[in-house]
Amino acid sequence: MSWHPQYRSSKFRHVYGKAASKEKCYDCVPITRNVHDNHFCAVNPHFIAVVTECAGGGAFLVIPIHQTGKLDPHYPKICGHKGNVLDIKWNPFNDFVIASCSEDATVKIWDIPKHLLTRNITSPKKELLGHVRRVGLIEWHPTANNILFSSGYDYKIMIWNLDTKEAVISNPVKILDAHKDVVLSMSFNTDGSLLATACRDRKIRLIDPRSGTVLQEASYKSHKVNKVLFLGNMKKLFSTGTSRWNNRQIALWDQNDLSVPLLEEDLDGSSGLLFPFYDSDTHMLYVVGKGDGNIRYYEISPEKPYLNYLMEYRSPLPQKGIGMMPKRGLEVSACEIFRFYKLIPTKSLIEPISMIVPRRSESYQEDIYPLTTGAQPALTAQEWLNGVNKGPLLVSLRPGSGAVNSLPQFLEPEPLMKTTDLNQHQGRGGIMPLDDVQKPSEIKDSRKQLKVEEKLPKNEPMRLSNGFDIFECPPPKTENELLQMFYRQQEEIRRLRELVNQRDVQIKQLELELRNLCTNTGSY
């Protein structure tokens, strides 16, 4: 019988949550008292949006992300809805466009000015009219530009194409009519080709959004589902809900077989909803409890036991809703891998909570920041509607690398998007276009440069001892000389590592180009 150690090696075993100081919180924010089970908060690197209390109609605030401290009670609002606002979501490819849905059965798209708001915004950029009852959920497509999904209390999910000039759109491009009750949650897989939904009839459905067909349906009676989430490229679904005895429960499902969950675990007896968040870069899963101050976090693995508990962030202040900062807005110099924005209505406070990997070095930690989803769409709306699937375009979070601007009119293809990790991209379910890979001539030129750098004089005799030439550079005799030699060797090691990394990137580029060529020739 083989012995298995009780511990598990992981870079994220010691991740801890750190609440922001009072000066970096958002105070005096009139957070909504609505009992609808939603996040009520949306965040991007420029703004934080939060649903607020409003006399007559519905409104939400858009606050610049760096404008912390006390909020002016007369701060302008976005207030064009005639009923309570139930959900808000930022466009993932444009940080100055936000969508909102309301009890007035409409979805509205808003343009947020770059300068500070000076007056209320009441006129939306676009208005989507199709639902006959209140709209409770909206979701942007993860890779296609200007595709929006909305779900209402008429049991329908509507797909909207916003690539039109009309200010009022009354005809969605597709209506998904597969549900017999209210849809409580929607989640896309990595390339947006599949949609998972949780319904009030206790069923999880896996749907092809373009055809409208239900591919899988879970009717497991001992798990009453509330929220469902795709776990990136793991081909698994994660759901939160309640058990037969009304305990809060989490469950893990195989995407290809929803008959029985792979894992089922009761957490506690609280009545608040559990909001799940998944970070596909670190494979970490966060479970946030509504009505309590806890954030549990786990690490997902492809083999059993699948779900590895890491730790729990505890706070005495209960959260009503929660917002999440995209990866491109994190502070990488502090080894921050996730950031929540916690809504505390009892104190009219929004408190940022950073999840941090403890590291001593202040340099960029490449192992905890792999290439991540950027702010440029991989597809146009029409391409996706025509049946094209493509994974998200990836960027590096290394400071100074660029390629994270989210204004479409200024976006240009960046080299860092081209040097994507092959293994990650395979998992994200898409083929990188040949335009996004370096041309063979460019790779040859770079190879020549590497060869020139690596050439050493062949005629000169070399006598090496511990990495240096004993004729040209005699061994150090004093402590100061030894330190200088040590620093020179460290610099040489760093340079060689960079050289190896460049070679690895070029190898992956060639492999990716070969794979794309084989796929393209096979499709013809």
| 159, part of any domain | yes
| 77, part of any domain | yes
**Parent domain of 102:** 18-177+359-375
Task: Give the separation between CA 394 and CA 414, rounded to whole angstroms.
Answer: 10
The phi and psi torsions of 40 (rounded to 5 degrees) equal: 60, 15
| 117, part of any domain | yes
| 29, part of any domain | yes
Q: Residue 257 carries which DSSP code?
A: B
CATH number, domain of 52, equals: 2.130.10.10
Name the pTM for this structure. Answer: 0.76
| 400, part of any domain | no
| 363, part of any domain | yes
Structural domain count of the chain: 1
Task: Give the separation between CA 280 and CA 453, rounded to whole angstroms.
Answer: 37
| 428, part of any domain | no
pLDDT in tens, the chain (524 residues): 334 445 567 889 899 999 999 999 999 999 998 888 899 999 999 999 999 988 778 899 999 999 999 999 999 999 989 999 999 999 999 999 999 999 999 999 999 998 878 899 999 999 999 999 999 999 999 999 999 999 999 999 999 999 999 999 999 999 999 999 999 999 999 999 999 999 999 899 999 999 999 999 988 888 899 999 999 888 999 999 999 888 999 999 999 999 999 999 999 888 889 999 999 999 999 999 998 899 999 999 988 889 999 999 999 999 999 999 999 999 999 999 999 999 999 999 999 999 999 998 878 898 999 999 999 999 999 999 999 999 999 999 988 775 544 444 333 333 333 333 444 444 444 434 434 444 444 444 444 444 434 443 444 444 444 444 444 456 666 777 777 778 778 888 888 888 898 888 889 888 888 888 887 776 55
Task: Give the separation between CA 348 and CA 30, rounded to whole angstroms.
Answer: 6
Task: Give the separation between CA 351 and CA 136, rounded to whole angstroms.
Answer: 25
Q: Are 303 and 292 in contact (CB under 8 A)?
A: no
| 382, part of any domain | no
Q: 379: helix, coil or strand?
A: strand
Q: Are 116 and 64 in contact (CB under 8 A)?
A: yes
